[in-house]
Structure 1
Amino acid sequence: MFIPKIYKSEDPELMKKIISENAFALLISNKEKLSATHSMFLLNENDGDFFLETHISKVNFQAKVLKDNDEVLCDFLGAHSYISSSWYEKPNVSTWNYEAVQIRGKVKLMTDEELYKHLEKLTFKYEKVQKCPMFVENMGDELVKKEMKGAFGINIYPTEIYIANKLSQNRKDNDFENIILNLEQSDFDNDKKIAELMKENRGLI
Structure 2
Amino acid sequence: MYVPKLYRSEDYNVMKEIIRENAFAMLISSGDRIRATHSMMMLNEDDPENTYIETHISRANPQSKTLKNGDEVLCDFLGAHSYISSSWYDHINVSTWNYEAVQIYGKVQLMDQEELYKHLEKLTSRFEKNQQCPMMVEDMGRAFVEKEMKGAFGIKIIPDEIFIQQKLSQNRKEHDFQNIISNLENGSDNERKTADQMKKLKR
* Cα displacement (A) at 1:90: 1.1
* Cα displacement (A) at 1:49: 2.2
Whole-angstrom distance in 2 between the partners of 1:94 and 1:85? 4
Whole-angstrom distance in 1 between the partners of 2:42 and 2:105? 15
* 1:201 corresponds to 2:198: no
User: What number of residue pairs does the alignment pair up?
Assistant: 202
Q: 1:84-103, aligned counterparts within 5 Å?
A: 84-103=85-104
Corresponding residue of 2:42: 42
Match of 1:137, SS? helix
Deviations 1:134-178 (A, max 9, x none): 000000011100000000000000000000111111111111111
* Cα displacement (A) at 1:199: 1.2
Corresponding residue of 1:29: 29
Q: Which runs of 4+ in 1 moved over 4 A?
A: none
Partner amino acid, structure 1, of 2:161: E
Whole-angstrom distance in 1 between the partners of 2:79 and 2:197? 11
Q: 1:138-153, aligned counterparts within 5 Å?
A: 138-153=139-154
Whole-angstrom distance in 1 between the partners of 2:98 and 2:202? 14
Partner amino acid, structure 2, of 1:174: H
Q: 1:10-25, aligned counterparts within 5 Å?
A: 10-25=10-25
* Cα displacement (A) at 1:47: 3.2
Q: 1:157-172, aligned counterparts within 5 Å?
A: 157-172=158-173
Q: 1:75-90, aligned counterparts within 5 Å?
A: 75-90=76-91
Match of 1:48, SS? helix
* Cα displacement (A) at 1:129: 0.5
Whole-angstrom distance in 2 between the partners of 1:198 and 1:47? 28
* Cα displacement (A) at 1:202: 1.4
Match of 1:90, SS? coil
Partner amino acid, structure 2, of 1:40: M
Whole-angstrom distance in 2 between the partners of 1:14 and 1:199? 14
The Cα RMSD (Å) is: 0.7
Match of 2:19, SS? helix
Match of 2:51, SS? strand
* 1:181 corresponds to 2:182: yes
Structure 1 unmatched runs, 5+: none
* Cα displacement (A) at 1:185: 1.6
**TM-score using structure 2 length:** 0.98
Whole-angstrom distance in 2 between the partners of 1:170 and 1:48? 34
